[in-house]
Each structure stands twice: as C-alpha cells, then as structure tokens.
Amino acid sequence: MDINLLVLNVGNSRLALGVFQAGELKHADHLDHAHQSNWPGAIRHAWEMIAKTSQPAIAGASVNPALNASIDTMVREITGLAVQWIGHDIDLPIKVCTDQPEKTGQDRILNIAAAHEQMGKACVVVDAGTAITIDVCNDNGDFLGGAIAPGLKLQLGALHDKTAALPSVSPAIPQTNIGRSTEQAILHGVYYGLRGLVKELVENYATELGTWPEIIATGGDAQLLFENWELIHAISPDLTLYGIALAYANHHIDHET
C-alpha cells in the first residue's frame, strides 16, 4: 500500500517520528522528552514532507498515555488532522496470545509485527531502551509474549542511586575481559548481564518453538549492546515506526477505507 504517512511513537523516554512517502520510510527523528519544546518544529518539518501528497495521514502508538492528549492537540494545530491511534482507531496488525492482550505494550506488539513481516518466520525482537524487552512470535506471526527487564542506563543509574559508594558509570562497551576497577566491574556486570539475559531467554524460546528464531534488535541502546554480536541477525533502529505503518496499512485494507 503506497501510503503517505506521518507516524508517531510515544515512548517512555523519547518521541520517535517517521515519514513514509509512497510506502517507504524517508525520514526518522528521535526526540527526548526533556526537550518537548523541540517537538512542534520536528512535527511541522515531518508533516511538510507529505502535506501535499495524495491522502496524507497521521498514525501513532503510545506506551505513555499521559502525553497523548498534548500530542493530539499539537498535531491538530500543525496539520489540521487528528492522530489515528493504534488500539483505538487502528487495529493491531497481529494476533496477541498473552493472558491480557489489552495490557501488553503496543510497542512490543508492533515490533514483532514488523519483524515477522520482514522475516516471514518465528522471530525474537530485543528492544533495548529504558526497559529492555525480549519478545517472540511463532511462524504464523502470533505474538506469544516475552520478558521485560531494566535497560542499560536504568541499571547503571540504579546501582549509583541505591547504594552508598558505587560510582556513576556511563554506558560503554567493556574493553577488557575482567573488570579491574569498580567502574569496570559495574560496566561488565550490566553489559554482559543484559547479553546473557537475551541469550538465555532466546534459548528458552527456541525450546518452546522447536526451532531457532531470528533475532532483531532495536531501541536506543541496541547498537552499543549488540553491534557485531553473532547472535543478532540485524539491528533495526526504526522497527516500531515500520510496525505502526504496517498496522495503519493493514487496517485500511481490511476496512476498505
């Protein structure tokens, strides 16, 4: 479907924007919540890329509902159109097999939908952001569930904030096999702890599925954690944006609108 679409992904730490022109992602931007004054300009710039194309539209997904109303107002003032929200105006693009589908994070579902659309088989998505999620689907693309844990920066921050003497450590790739200082030991523990978490969970998923799934990584810390790691099939920074666009396209095809 050759859509002209502005997509918004409202996360816990960032607002991600994407512009699809004739079905292809032409522009992506990631804006920290701490700099919301920059959002109107970024939205206006993105909208101008498709405003004069055929049937432009706006779709969004959110795991931070407190921001939705203000984003709705901002978008309507800039574009004159309303945001079509996943789960409210737009159907989810895949079957969700968790115990409480309505409480499963939309970003997790959309990531899996986009990954399965590309892979066409059972796969795992590791989303390394504020939290790290490791989710899985079967060959049919059904979202089966997964795991949620504190992300890289959250773990490093907690060790400093919740102890009396442990120092603040910036995210980095360990350069030695053994941590020979307190700072190095913290970095080794968190960095390799997260990699070990991913490996252990994927092995569990493979046992359940009866096959080894392809693993796609996304999120702000994916490059730092997983670049050149043989376990990871690909790193896709804008996977959720593709998932939103897929949901929009499927919904309007299914409803013939």
Three-state SS at 116: helix
107 is catalytic: yes
Angle between helices 182-209 and 152-161 (to 10 degrees): 140
Three-state SS at 206: helix
Q: Are 168 and 160 in contact (CB under 8 A)?
A: yes
The one catalytic residue in 2, 72, 89, 107 is 107
Three-state SS at 88: coil
Burial call 160-177: b when 16+ CB within 10 Å, e when fewer: eeeeeebeebebeeeeee
User: What gap in Å lies between CA 118 and CA 135, rounded to an integer?
Assistant: 16
User: Tokens 């590791």 belong to which residue?
Assistant: 126
What are the backbone dihedrals phi and psi of residue 192, each rounded to the nearest 5 degrees, phi first? -75, -25
User: What gap in Å lies between CA 70 and CA 36, rounded to an integer?
Assistant: 11
Catalytic residues: 107
